Amino acid sequence: MKPSYIFAAVAGIIVLVFAVYMIDIDQTEETRLPDVDVNVEGGQLPEFEADVGDIETGSKDVTVTVPTVDIQSPEEDAKDDG
């Protein structure tokens, strides 16, 4: 191991030890939930009117011409040249 890694590890451990022993947190008051009164009355949802277009779907057979691709690796190019 490099000395810089060892120094960084030792420094990190020292910082961690100081962080644990230098901070002291004490709870000074108990937690209490707030008092909540809930009155619920019936509501009303909004109404909407929407005009939408007509969509026609279907399928049809189509023939597509696909080009052929010839790929040669560098080894094949060397064989063709030699």
**Residue 31 within a domain:** no
Per-residue confidence (pLDDT) for residue 38, from 0 to 100: 82
**Residue 5 within a domain:** yes
Full residue range of the structural domain in which residue 4 is found: 1-25
**Residue 4 within a domain:** yes
Q: What is the b/e burial string over 13-51, where b = at least 16 CB atoms within 10 angstroms of the residue's CB?
A: eeeeeeeeeeeeeeeeeeeeeeeeeeeeeeeeeeeeeee
Domain count, the chain: 1
**Residue 20 within a domain:** yes
pLDDT, tens digit (0-9, with 9 covering 90-100), for 31-79: 888 888 888 888 888 888 877 777 788 999 999 999 998 888 877 777 7
Q: Given a cut of 70, is residue 18 above it in pLDDT? A: yes
**Residue 21 within a domain:** yes
